[in-house]
Amino acid sequence: MKRKRKEAGGGVIEEGEIVWQTPLNPPERQDYIFHQGRRYVTPYHFEFISHAKSRWAGKTIVDLFAHEFKGRPYEYYVGAVECGRIQVEGRVVPVSYIVKPSEKISHFVHRHEPPVMSHGVSILQMEPDVVTVCKPASIPVHPCGQYRKNTVVSILQAEHGLAPLFPVHRLDRLVSGLLIFARNALKADLFRQQIEGGLVQKQYIAKVVGEFPENELEVNVNINYNAREGRSTAEEVSICSKPCDTALLKGKAACTKFTRISTNGTHSIVLCEPVTGRTHQIRVHLQFSGHPIANDMLYLSEQRTNRSAEGMVADKAVCLSPESSVSDTWQNKKGDEPCVEFSTDPMCTNCPNLAPKGCDGNEEALWLHCIRYSGPGWIYECPYPDWASLS
């Protein structure tokens, strides 16, 4: 397969007309497009690299992709293997190839990232070994799934030259507020030890439904996270006469303390102090208390969204044509995306759109915001968001 690869140092090895990026290529300021309150990323050709997991071994290369990445039809993977856009150990293989453990698998795709809210990532405090920022909602902390350049880590590198950065903690994509980054591995390990030792206190604020109780409320309810659905559920521990009864519980122990800050009867602003750190812990515990976050559609409704069925990891499962890319200027007829010139691929299922299919980018900030982290001899804080006032 003829191509040219853009190396991390900026050089280009001539192999054809397509420039392939890898995870080593740093994001650049010119990669971003701002339009009507959203931050877009210009689509780019990218090489996904993974190593065969034990459960993949013994499957054909096509069956592996069809089973693991359900966002695209089986025929796409057949074409991707046949045209060399899916390779094993740098070699073109037949569709009947049987995958072996730990083999390097490359998938060459035309990558379209979902847009995020265009709010900047503001730096709160800069120290020799620590950087704190205020994370906007809708932006993931680090590269994952469909996001690589539209992440806090990548934006800080592209716009402020901050790299490497080591996230001390994580905020869900729709959550805003304080993020702490260590600037070296030694400092990151020190933070990790303090967190694992229970020496770090975390505070968030949330805007919830109804009049929250005046007295402090402590919720001790197990959290059971379903990765395929992207949703957690509360699993209350009852008092059992037999110790073995608790073995049937799937969730992990979780505890959160809540204190009402203010209320107007319709909504309340609540201080949330998670003692443990489970996925969606605050959101689920507030739902369990009867006062879910007021704009949290995932936990306000009993309807569950099965993200795996909707192809939320479709960027890892795009079949591309062996033909060279062509330059195209895309104009959205509705006028809600910018008119941008970028390289398109004839068989890319997202082209000529700028954003990936099924992504409208019209998300609002979840009313959950990290305001404070503190530990032995240190405190980092973030300003309150506008929605925290009920007046």
Q: What is the 3-state secondary structure (H, E, C) of the chain?
A: CCCEEECCCCCEECCCCCEEECCCCCCCHHHEEEECCEEEECCEEEEEEEECCHHHCCCEHHHHHHHHCCCCCHHHHHHHHHCCCEEECCEECCCCCECCCCCEEEEEEEECCCCEECCCCEEEEECCCEEEEEECCCCCCCCECCECCCCHHHHHHHHHCCCCCEECCCCCCCCEEEEEEECCHHHHHHHHHHHHCCCCEEEEEEEEECCCCCCCEEEECEEEEECCCCEEEEECCCCCCCHHHHHHCCCECCEEEEEEEEECCCEEEEEEEECCCCCCHHHHHHHHHCCCECCCHHHHCCCCCCCCCCCCCHHHCCCCCCCCCEEEEECCCCCCCCCEEEEECCCCCCCCCCCCCCCCCCCCCCCEEEEEEEECCEEEECCCCHHHCCC
Residues known to be catalytic: 172
In one-letter notation, the amino acid at residue 188 is: A
